[in-house]
Amino acid sequence: MCCFRVPRMPPYLNVYPPNPEQHKEVLISSSGQPFPWNHMRLPKTVSPLHYDLGIHPNLTTLDFTGVVRIQLQVHEDTGVIVLHAKQMQITEALLLAPEGVRPLRVLEYPPFHQLALLSDTLLTRGRTYEVLLGFAATLSDSFHGFYRSSYHTSSGAVRVLASTQFEATFARAAFPCFDEPAFKAKFTIRIIREPRHIAVSNMPTVKTVALPGGLLEDHFDTTVKMSTYLVAYIVSDFLSVSRTTQRGVKISVYAVPEKIDQTAFALDTAVRLLDFYEDYFDIPYPLPKQDLAAIPDFQSGAMENWGLTTYRETALLYDPDKSSPSDKLAITKVIAHELAHQWFGNLVTMEWWNDLWLNEGFAKFMEFISVNVTNPELHVDDFFLGKCFEAMEVDSLPSSHPVSTHVENPMQIQEIFDDVSYDKGACILNMLRDFVTPEAFEIGIIRYLRRFSYQNTVSRHLWESLTDLCSPDLLDQGDRKHTEFCSARNRPSGASKWYSGDELDVQAIMDTWTLQEGFPLVTVEVRGREVRLSQERYLKTDEPSLTDGFLWQIPLTYVTSASSTIRRFLLKTKTDVLYLPQEVDWVKFNVDMSGYYMVHYEGDGWNAIINLLQHNHTVLTSNDRASLVHDVFQLVSVGKVRLDTALELSLYLSRETETMAVTQGFQELVPLYKLMEKRDMAALENRMKSYIVDLFRGLIDRQEWTDSGSVSERVLRSYLLLFGSVRNYPPCVEKATQLFNAWRASGGHMSLPVDVTMAVFTVGARTPEGWDFLFERYRTSLQMSVKSRMKVAMAFSPLQGKLTRMMEQSLRGEVMKLQDLPDVLVTISRNPHGYKLAWDFLRANWHTLIKKFDLGTSLVAYMVNGVTNQYSTTEMLDEVKLFFGSLTEETGSEMRCIQQTYETIGDNIRWMDAHLPHLQAWLDKRSSHTVHEDL
């Protein structure tokens, strides 16, 4: 970015806050002049109304130029306009005022990505002006801003394209703008391209103009009012397929030409989902089209740009013959997520990133609501619980943050794109929906979206919209759903609230879930008909004082041995008592785990539940059983339950057949031997592995090596056969070896059952010849889901030289894409033959990784936590601290994921020190039942 010499500023150029005593520091611009603003957030003296943006990317020289005209509304007299620009050369700066065109002087302050445009005449409150800025920059070689991507054709030719990723703070790297979500404006975009390419953006093309030199300029229709992070454009050689929704919205899916035949499923899914959302939200989709584009290089899973959603290829492309049920479920969910954003996030946007959860938590929640209706065969409900467990894993650490949390700089903003904002946000919304009833929840959401369309909101606005739903002065008589709902509630037969007392104060309840970090552990003690309740924060720490001062309003649900009717109780205080109609043998709280809390059964409570599971486990739902498995093992970590109690409960799993409960059993048991792997405790480690194989042996033996059954059954089959193969269970290894050898002998052309390919590839990758064959097939395959399974299998090979080659290949981005490196690295770190290699690679390439993936992003956190979270010795904790402690703030020392890593390893050490003797004793006690060799 070029700088202009600036003379001394006249007094009216001041745009400091009203109380400058609070912020005395004067920032110095890159030219050495004082910069006239000293906050990370932009001043509100002016705001944009409309951007007229022209962009000319050159896909040969890999740079771009542009011109933007921004129409501004002035709110306070000023002589300075402060906006964003990052790593950009400003070639021209003009003020287009009614009095004429005048040059603007430019200062830059790179640490805040800010430009100051200085006018020698006063901009008057209440008037509108235009500024014109010419600019130039290089297409980014990361995954943010306006960046370059490429792919290889089947003939080996390289094709280059340019695409955008602006969330959260990267629009400023593509054009000068007011890059904060509250500065909404309309955008009219023009893109210059070569005839061999196409250009797409948020809106349809209205005309294409021929330019000198054989270039073309596409003019796009003006957008609706929206935030900068939702602007998008792509210049590529993509092809597309299209269909129209019931209301006439054109849906198109774009992909590289050789993969266009993998777009049919995404197209059908998008049409169904957009129709669903228009009905559910009772608000028409406001744009004439919705494009879905599969980008060869893409860091996140997908992005909700209004009218042009962008995706990783694996998140959009589906081959009916090669993709698995898990692929179908994942693709459907990610499309559902991005299309939900078109209303929740795009139409109504959080005012600032501290309320990111309003966007992401809701879109994650709507994945399950929408897919359950549009694709019931996918049984999406079977997988929601796992999201809550994942959120609790992060939320149980001292370094967790509130759902609605203070953020200021770009790194802090990037960091909250995490399990707390997404998964915890979804889980507390699910709890609220169950609490107020699904019908009331839907009416409140519709009210919220209508009231704040094209505006910005804070969490309080959502809670207000869910309160006093049928108050006469708030009832929208023009809203069919709202009127019918309130009429039904007023009839004697209508659904009544399950809670007692005055009108529900949604905000008072939900503030306890969004404004404080963590989640509650509810302790239950049954004494006759009396049920004593208490709550505390569940926290994995050796500092008990950190749990003090936390209190939630918890919507409890429970069933008992005497009644399967779900009963409810709102726990508002630290302790309380409820009374049962009669004495019972057992009570199960948090029915189906609809609430975001864990439960500890004091006294004889766990023994009663263990007895129930061992003798009649199907009395409880699959989700209830999964939540019991989860809670009992998590309570071991904080000393509430003995390990042998948890292991006794796990014995019932030998009779379990449901996906969620089985997979949760694996999730709790497998990490126990993974911790031992890092301590070189082969004997005890192998005994634990043998116990798990024995536990699930019957279920593994019943699996057929075919693609039959429901989606849940097929997902479970793939999971079990892979586990059996990895654990060297002879029937699995023999079958997988036989299939791999036949598949390899056919040159990879033999059709394998999709559900067994992970097991087959993983066993095949154990030999150098098998690994090399997989790598070659990976290089030439056009099926993204098949490539994903090959990648995981190769990363779990015992061949260390091959593992190192994979990481190096991914970093270079040749055969394996750089976007795949985090997955490769984390998978290798979970490989007992590779975890040391992964840690060494992370350290050696740290500076390259944070440049490519950007500080604070979820992928950097994923690599840091994924590579280190199974360490369990003080020596490794010291080594990890030595490396991360050597970093500076600029190289990531302040990232939350580093603190999470320290806490996780510390918790692992405490667990091993406290519970290994109990594990040894329990396995000794069971040794007489173990008849199989260690596997």
- Domain 248-485 sits in which CATH superfamily? Neutral Protease Domain 2 (1.10.390.10)
DSSP secondary structure string, 27-93? EE-TTSSEES---SSPPSSEEEEEEEEEEEEETTTTEEEEEEEEEEEESS-EEEEEEE--S-EEEEE
What DSSP line would sit under 2-19, residue for residue? ------PPPGGG----S-
Confidence check: pLDDT of 930 > 80? no
CATH class of 798-934: mainly alpha
Please identify which residue in the block is written with the tokens 């801003």: 145
Give the mean pLDDT of 363-369: 96
CB 665 within 8 A of CB 656: yes
At residue 12, the pLDDT reads: 31
State yes or no: is 338 an active-site residue.
yes
| Residue 82 near residue 38 (C-beta atoms within 8 A) | no
297-313 pLDDT, tens digit each: 999 899 999 999 999 99
Extents of the domains making up the chain: 48-237, 248-485, 518-640, 730-797, 798-934
- What pLDDT is recorded for position 24? 63
839 Cβ contact partners less than 8 Å away, ≥ 6 residues apart: 829, 867, 868
Q: Alpha carbon of 677 to those of 506, 674, 683, 870: distances in Å?
A: 47, 5, 10, 9
Q: What is the mean pLDDT of residues 196-208?
A: 98
- The stretch 154-166 carries a mean pLDDT of 95
- pLDDT of res. 478: 55
Q: Which CATH superfamily is domain 48-237 in?
A: tricorn interacting facor f3 domain (2.60.40.1730)
Is the pLDDT at 629 greater than 60? The verdict is yes
Q: How many other C-beta atoms are found inside a 10 Å radius of the C-beta of residue 106? A: 22
- Residue 502: per-residue pLDDT: 46
With a cut of 60, say whether residue 528 has pLDDT above it: yes
What value does the mean pLDDT of the chain take? 92
Mean pLDDT, rounded, for 186-194: 98
CA-nearest of 759, 774, 853, 839 to 807 is 839
Residue 774 clears pLDDT 80, i.e. is over it:
yes
Q: Confidence band (pLDDT; 50, 70, 90) for 934?
A: very low
| Strand partners for 158 | 152
Of 545, 432, 527, 445, residue with least CA distance to 485: 445
pLDDT at 503 over 90: no
Q: Name the 3-class secondary structure at 333.
A: helix
Q: Are 405 and 416 in contact (CB under 8 A)?
A: yes
Q: What is the pLDDT of residue 488?
A: 59
Q: Does residue 495 carry a pLDDT above 70?
A: no
Residues 518-640, CATH architecture: Sandwich (2.60)
Nearest-angstrom CA–CA distance, 229 and 706: 45
| For residues 527-536, average pLDDT | 96
Token pair belonging to 913: 């020190």
Asked if the model's pLDDT at residue 849 lies above 60, the reply is yes
Residues near 267 by beta carbon (within 8 Å), at least 6 away in sequence: 241, 242, 243, 251, 252, 253, 292
The confidence score (pLDDT) of residue 483 equals 63
Mean pLDDT, range 876-889, rounded to an integer: 95
Cβ-based neighbour number of residue 933 at 10 Å: 9
Query: What predicted TM-score, i.e. pTM, was given to this entire model?
Result: 0.93
| 117-151 pLDDT tens trace | 999 999 999 999 999 999 999 999 999 999 999 99
Chain CA centroid to CA 296, Å: 19
**Cis omega (within 30 of 0) for bond into 168:** yes
pLDDT higher than threshold 80 for residue 17:
no
Binding-site entries = 337, 341, 360
User: Is the pLDDT assigned to residue 587 strictly greater than 70?
Assistant: yes
The percentage of residues in the chain with a pLDDT greater than 90, rounded to a whole number, is 87
Residue 225: predicted pLDDT: 98
Is 11 a residue whose pLDDT tops 70?
A: no
Does the pLDDT of residue 442 top 50, yes or no?
A: yes
Q: Residue 13 pLDDT > 90, yes or no?
A: no
**Residues tagged in the binding site annotation for Zn(2+):** 337, 341, 360
| Sign of the C-alpha dihedral computed for residues 135, 137, 139 and 143 taken in this order | negative
- List, for residues 377-393, the tens digit of each pLDDT value: 999 988 899 999 999 99
**pLDDT band of 3, cuts 50, 70, 90:** very low
Q: Give yes or no for residue 416 having a pLDDT over 80.
A: yes
Catalytic member of 108, 167, 180, 338: 338
CB 845 within 8 A of CB 877: no
> 870 and 835 in contact (C-beta within 8 Å)?
yes
Are both 248-485 and 798-934 of the same fold?
Answer: no
Q: Where does the pLDDT of residue 474 fall: very low under 50, low under 70, confident under 90, or very high at 90 and above?
A: low
| pLDDT tens per residue, range 46-87 | 999 999 999 999 999 999 999 999 999 999 999 999 999 999
pLDDT bin (cut points 50, 70, 90) of residue 497 is very low
Distance CA 636, CA 646 (A): 7
- Decide if pLDDT at 282 tops 90: yes
Q: What is the mean pLDDT of residues 502-530?
A: 92
Average pLDDT over residues 728-756: 96
pLDDT interval class at 544 (50, 70, 90): confident
Neighbours of 308 (CB within 10 A): 26
Q: What is the pLDDT of residue 19?
A: 42
Could you read off the pLDDT of 292-350 as tens digits, one per residue?
999 999 998 999 999 999 999 999 999 999 999 999 999 999 999 999 999 999 999 99
